[in-house]
Structure 1
Amino acid sequence: MSFYDIIKQPVISEKAYAGMERGAYSFWVDPKATKTEIKTAVQQAFGVTVIGISTMNVAGKRKRVGKFVGHRADRKKAVVRLAEGQKIEALEALA
């Protein structure tokens, strides 16, 4: 599996942008990916040193349109902490 398969997209929210200032970047990742695979993928993709990872499974919400009730997909989020003084320039441009 390449890092393109593991890292789906960055999380775009106010809380994620606040974490960037502390060197913590959030990504939506493949639900089957392990912390070791996520660490390797981020290091290969962005050329940074990862010192810690927190992962969480996010349950999809029930959504309703008129009388029809649906369900959003379940996802996995990873918060990656980088070594002191490092940052991901590509994501800093989004903020």
Structure 2
Amino acid sequence: MKEPVTILKEALLTEKATMLSANLNQYVFSVYPQATKTNVKNAIEQTFGVKVNKVNTLIQKPKTKRDRMRRGKLGYTALSKKAIITLKAGDSIDLA
């Protein structure tokens, strides 16, 4: 099993993520692209000591962007993977 440090990058604290955590007990994390749902679940449970009910993952594919510093040549944004974690009722994670 992989270490939680090699799976979780950071917690995402956007407006949508704070609405999910307040209303639905869901938290959003940025994870490494090679991480699976079971890896993410185990990492969250080990790191924060909570019970995870469900893990949803999504991959944001790279977009092409025009780079003005290199005379208009195309560049790409980074590929990223997010995990939306649903916790058991009564559990919570303090991200502040």
State TM-score, norm by structure 2. 0.87
Can you give the 5+ residue segments of structure 2 that lack an aligned partner in the other structure?
none
Return the alpha-carbon distance in structure 1 between the equivalents of residues 75 and 30 of structure 2: 21
The match for 1:35 is 37
Residue number in structure 1 paired with 2:12: 11
What percentage of residue pairs aligned between the two structures are identical? Answer: 37
> Residue 25 of structure 1 aligns with which residue?
27
Which residue in 2 is equivalent to 1:2?
Answer: 3
Give the paired residue count: 91
Identify the residue that residue 76 of structure 1 maps to in structure 2.
81
Moved over 3 A (4+): none
Gaps of 5+ in 1: none
**Paired residue type of 2:45:** Q
Q: Distance in 2 between matches of 1:17 and 1:74?
A: 23
Q: Deviations over 1:1-27 (max 9, x none)?
A: 200100011123111111111210001
Inter-partner Cα distance in structure 2 for 1:70 and 1:27: 26
Residue aligning to 1:54:
56
Q: Which amino acid aligns with 1:13?
A: T
Partner of 1:28: helix, strand, or coil? strand
Residue of structure 1 equivalent to 2:66? 64
- Structure 1-normalised TM-score? 0.88
Deviation at 1:41, TM superposition (A): 0.1
Distance in structure 2 (CA, Å) of the matches to 1:56 and 1:68: 29
